[in-house]
Amino acid sequence: MTTPHPSIGDWYRLNGGDSFEIVAVDEDDGTIDIQYFDGTLEEMDLEDWEAHWSDGALEVAEAPEDWSGSVDIERGDVEGRGSEPFGEDRDLRASGLDGIDLFE
């Protein structure tokens, strides 16, 4: 089986450990930046990537259903600002520029 080319957004698992996402690929430097679910960043050489794949130590993994692990947010932040939920009656439009004198 040929070694898959690492693409940003793809998820893998190394040696049955924690899964990680490809967040950057630098062909010029020959490196891949990976990010684990908890937000930890690491760099891997493309040569190591190919060696791990040929050894069977690297496998394709599914992206986690809970995407919030690496972004470090609280549960309330997902719903809005703190505990203030978004509602139908909330006006999110910017106010008009009436009353502003541009030549003042």
> Per-residue pLDDT tens for 30-45?
999 999 988 899 999 9
Q: Which two tokens stand for residue 84?
A: 């203030």
E strand or H helix at 20? strand 19-26
Cα four-point dihedral sign 82, 86, 87, 90: positive
> Per-residue pLDDT tens for 69-81?
555 555 555 555 5
Is residue 82 left, alpha or beta, with left meaning phi > 0 and alpha meaning psi from -120 to 50? left
- For the chain, domain boundaries: 1-63
In CATH terms, the fold of domain 1-63 is SH3 type barrels. (2.30.30)
Average pLDDT over residues 12-33: 93
3-state secondary structure of 91: coil
